[in-house]
Amino acid sequence: MTDILPFLKTLISTSGVSGNETPVAKLIEEKWRPLVDETRLSRVGSLHGLKHGSGKKRPSILIATHMDAIGMRVSHIVDGFLRITNVGGIDVHVLPGAEVTVHSTGGADLPAVIAMPSSKLLPESAGDGALEIGYLLVDTGLTPREVEKKVRVGDLVSFANEPMELAGDIVSGHTVDNRASVAALTVCLEELQTKPHVWDVWAVATVQEETSYLGAYTSAFEIRPQIAIAVDGTFAKGPGANGWQTHTMGKGVGLCIGPNMHPFLHKKLKELAERLEIPWFLDVTTSHSGTDAYPMQVTAEGIPTALVEFPIRYMHTPVESVSVKDIQRAGRLLAEFIASLDENFVDTITWDE
C-alpha cells in the first residue's frame, strides 16, 4: 500500500471553501487521472472519476467524498479591517487568533489573522463569552489603502495553519473533514489498480456538502449508480467529547447504521471487514446522518446507500486530527468491497424480515 500521508498533507493545505472548490478539485483530478479511465466535472463542479469494470453488464457504484471546506467570507471592509461571515458550520470559539488566508478579488492570497477586538470596542451585549463572528475582524497587516485596492466584499477567507504530524500516526490540521475521505478514496483507487472488479466505479469528490449537499444530490442524479457509499468523518473520543456518538481513533473503520443507510449494504461491509480482519466499529445515527449519504439515498427513485467513516478529533476546528491508519483501512475496505461485487449483486439486496 502506498503512503497516503504526503497527498493528505497537500490536500489539507489546498483551499476549497464550499462553492469555490476549484483549487482542490484540480489537485484531486491530477492525482486521480492515472488511476481512472476518465475524469470530468459535473455541472456544479463535483469531480467525477470513472474506472471501468470488467463485466459484460456493468452496474455502477458511486463513492462520494466531499472536497469542500468550511470557511468564511468578507462581509464588510472598515479602516483596512475585514468583517466576515461564516460559510458552513463554523465554531466561533476557534476564530480569535486563527491564521487565515484572504483569497482576494485581485487574485492574491493574503495571509491574515482573525482579531478579537478589546471589550472597550464592543457593546456591552457582546459579553465576555465567545464573541459572535460579526464582532471579529480580519487583519491582513496591509495598510487600509492596500486593502481597499485588493479586497472586495464577498472574497473568501480560509484557514491557513499548516498541517502537523502528531505522535502515533496522527495528522492534524484544518479541513481533515473531509479531505481525509478523499485520501481514503484515493487509496481505494490505488488498490483497484491491481484488483479486478466487475462494476464500474465512480469516484466522486462532491461540492458544497457543508452548506447544502449540492454535489451529492446532483452527482448521484447524473450518474444513477446502483449503489452509493458516502465516506466521511465521525466523532473521535477525546478531550471534550466522550459521549455515545464518539469512537476511539486509530482503532478502525466506522460502519454506520441508521435511516440513511441500507441495512443490507451495512451487513455486507461488516462481513467483509470481519473476513479481512480490518478493524471496524459500529456507528449509529438516529435520523439525518449529516453526510452525503443523506442526499444520495433519496436521489431519483432512491439509491441503496452506505456510510463508511473514521473518527476525527476536534471536528470543525483548525486542528482536526485523524489516524492515517484508519484512512488506509477505509480505503482498503472500499476497494475490497468493490472487488467483491458481482454482476447480480443488486438482485441479492434484500430486507432482512
Partner 1 sequence: MPTFGTSQLKLLEKLCNVIAVSGDEGEVRKIVLEEIKDHADDVRVDALGSVLATRLGRGAKRVKVMLDAHMDEVGFMIVADEGEGIYRFESVGGIDARHLVGKQVFVGKERAAGVIGGKPIHLMDASERTRKVPVDSLRIDVGLAGKAKVGERAGFATKFRRVGPSIMSKALDNRFGVATVIELFKHAPSNIDLCAAFTVQEEIGLRGAKVAAQFFNPDLAIAIDSTPANDLPHFDETENATYNTKLGFGPAIYIADGSTLHDPRLVRFLQAVAASAKIPHQLRQPGGGGTDSAAIQRALAGIPTVSVSVPHRYTHSPVSISRVDDWKNTLALLHTALKKITMDLIGKR
Query: Of 79 and 353, which has the nearer Cβ to partner 1?
Result: 79
Q: Which of 319, 339, 343, 349 binds partner 1 (CB under 8 A)?
A: 319
Per-residue binding string, partner 1, 239-268, x by CB under 8 A, is xxx-x-x---xx------------------
Q: Which of residues 283-312 bind partner 1 (CB under 8 A)?
A: 290
Query: Of 107 and 129, which has the nearer Cβ to partner 1?
Result: 129
At its nearest, how many Å lie between partner 1 and the CB of residue 232? 12
- b/e string for 1-10 if b means 16 or more Cβ within 10 A? eeebbebbbe
Q: Is 97 in the site for partner 1 (CB under 8 A)?
A: yes
Q: Is 212 in the site for partner 1 (CB under 8 A)?
A: no
Query: Of 53 and 318, which has the nearer Cβ to partner 1?
Result: 318
For 166, which DSSP code? E
Query: Of 118 and 348, which has the nearer Cβ to partner 1?
Result: 118
CB neighbour list of residue 174: distance below 8 Å, 6 or more residues apart: 12, 69, 158, 159, 160, 161, 317, 318, 319, 320
Per-residue binding string, partner 1, 171-210, x by CB under 8 A, is -x--------------------------------------
Q: Which of 170, 214, 255, 265 binds partner 1 (CB under 8 A)?
A: 170
Determine if the peptide bond prior to 178 is cis (ω within 30°). yes
Q: Is 129 in the site for partner 1 (CB under 8 A)?
A: yes
| Alpha helical stretches, state H, the chain | 5-11, 22-32, 144-150, 176-192, 214-223, 263-276, 293-297, 324-340, 345-348
Q: Which of 29, 91, 109, 343 binds partner 1 (CB under 8 A)?
A: 91
Q: Which of 161, 211, 212, 226 binds partner 1 (CB under 8 A)?
A: 161
Instruction: Kindly compute the dihedral angle of the four CA atoms of residues 133, 134, 140, 143, in this order, to the nearest 10 degrees.
Output: -170
* Part in contact with partner 1 (CB under 8 A); list of ranges 11-19, 50-58, 94-102, 256-264: 94-102
- Is the distance from CB of 96 to CB of 138 less than 8 angstroms? no
Choose among 335, 330, 327, 332: nearest CA to 11: 327
Total residues binding partner 1 (CB under 8 A): 67
* Part in contact with partner 1 (CB under 8 A); list of ranges 1-9, 11-19, 169-177, 269-277: 169-177
- For residue 236, the one-letter residue type is A
How far is Cα 258 from Cα 283, in angstroms, rounded to an integer? 9
Q: What DSSP line would sit under 53-117, residue for residue?
A: -S-SS--EEEEEEE--B-EEEEEEEETTEEEEEEES---GGG-TT-EEEEE-TTS-EEEEEEE--
How far is Cα 64 from Cα 66, in angstroms, rounded to an integer? 6
Binding stretches for partner 1 (CB under 8 A): 78-79, 81, 89-94, 96-99, 110-111, 113, 115-118, 120-123, 126-132, 135, 137, 139-143, 146, 161, 164-170, 172, 235, 238-241, 243, 245, 249-250, 290, 313-319, 321, 323
